[in-house]
Amino acid sequence: MQFLSRKARTVLPYTAGEQLRDRQYVKLNTNENPYPPSPRVTEALARVAGDDLRRYPRPDAGLLRAAVAEREGVSPENVFCGNGSDEVLALSFPAFFDGDGAGACFADITYSFYEVFASFFGIPHTVVPLRGDFTLDLAAMQQTPCRGYYIANPNAPTGIGVHRDAMEAFVAAAKDKIVIADEAYMDFFGESLAPLTKRYPNLLVVKTFSKSYSLAGIRCGYAVGDAALIEGLFRMKDCFNSYPVDAVCEAVCTAALSDEGYHQRTTARIVQERERLRGALLALGFTVPKSDANFLFAGRAARSGKEIYTRLKQEGVLVRFWDKPVLRDFCRITVGTPEENDVLLQKLENILK
């Protein structure tokens, strides 16, 4: 400890979901996609070789940037790519917030990395409680003095999304405050604000390849926004790492984007299965808010989230549990394949007997 800085000694790091390899699990704990990535990804992997790996990659991930711009209907200057959307979000804190004055505002129950980043970068932050039905209290957030907002849409771990119209009204009212819309799960909802970044210079949309593109292992995410915001992210990136998107990552993600048909088919299967799984959980007596993501937030009266999580783990099924107020009554369950979900449901039935 004596060699560590005060920051290293006192910081509270983010706790990622378990990545256990000790046995074969039905793994429904980190919102991964149950389907493999597009076959074009495998082809791209075979192609990246020799010269691609001998050389440094493009510092702006230019090839991928152009492909993302095409997908989102913007120009490459409106796109920033990073090592997972976690890195893009991390860089956004020093890019758009200062250590003094009005800081960042986000919900009390949302992606817990926002709090970690804000603390790490020494940025003041205010948390606004969700309403009783787990929806975001956008009106209360609007009243909160701050320099900008982080809104996970759909929110995690509740899975609840805010429709585009309501989000646009929020962005318009925010005016000189920046709104960072974390759309990690947006493809399962289909209400992205990305097209609106052309009209609102205070809107930054952050997305990822980890969920709907089945590429959590490659680590890639991106931001879409006004060129001035993107420039801010580049300035921060170039203080940390010149090449966060490596050559393999760039080739793989570009290939995934080229197969929109595959992306839509797998996403639709997950959305359909989400509805079936929710119905089955409700039938087992769980409380499950309607989800717009690839996971469900499920709690059962008289059974703690910890009990459900622990018993399922013993049975070889991993779900996510947080020992925190409100969250401790629930588990977050990723939508798996129909077969995986059937295993989950059968184990739950036994546990509840």
Q: Do residues 237 and 222 touch, judged by C-beta distance below 8 A? A: no
> What is the CA 300 to chain-centroid distance, rounded?
25
Q: Is 44 in the site for ligand PMP (CB under 6 A)?
A: no
Binding mask 257-296 for ligand PMP (x = CB under 6 A): ----------------------------------------
Q: Closer to ligand PMP by CB, 240 or 314: give it.
A: 240
Q: Closer to ligand PMP by CB, 160 or 348: give it.
A: 160
Q: Is 170 in the site for ligand PMP (CB under 6 A)?
A: no
Q: How far apart are alpha carbons 285 and 308 in whole angstroms? A: 13
* DSSP 8-state symbol, 303: B
Grouping H, G, I as helix, E, B as strand and the rest as coil, residue 105 is strand
Q: Is 184 in the site for ligand PMP (CB under 6 A)?
A: yes
CB of 185 to ligand PMP, least distance (A): 7
Q: Closer to ligand PMP by CB, 150 or 348: give it.
A: 150
Strand partners, 152: 182
> What is the CA 155 to chain-centroid distance, rounded?
9
Q: How far apart are alpha carbons 43 and 55 in whole angstroms? A: 20
Q: Is 33 in the site for ligand PMP (CB under 6 A)?
A: no
Q: Do residues 36 and 262 touch, judged by C-beta distance below 8 A? A: no
Q: Is 334 in the site for ligand PMP (CB under 6 A)?
A: no
Which of 111, 200, 286, 297: binder of ligand PMP (CB under 6 A)?
A: 111
Query: Which residues in 82-111 are b (16+ Cβ under 10 Å) and which e?
Result: bbbbbbbbbbbbbbbbeeeebbbbbbebbb
Distances (CA, A) of 12 to 6, 15, 65, 107, 114: 12, 9, 33, 18, 12
State which of positions 3-22 bind ligand PMP (CB under 6 A). none
Binding residues with ligand PMP: total (CB under 6 A) = 12
End-to-end CA gap in the chain: 49
State which of positions 113-152 bind ligand PMP (CB under 6 A). 152
CB of 86 to ligand PMP, least distance (A): 3
Q: Do residues 69 and 75 touch, judged by C-beta distance below 8 A? A: yes
Which of 86, 187, 226, 340: binder of ligand PMP (CB under 6 A)?
A: 86
Q: Which stretch binds ligand PMP (CB under 6 A): 84-92, 100-108, 172-180, 255-263?
A: 84-92
State which of positions 208-237 bind ligand PMP (CB under 6 A). 208, 210, 216, 221
Q: How far apart are alpha carbons 313 and 88 in whole angstroms? A: 32
Residues at the site binding ligand PMP, with contacts judged by CB under 6 A: 84-86, 111, 152, 156, 182, 184, 208, 210, 216, 221
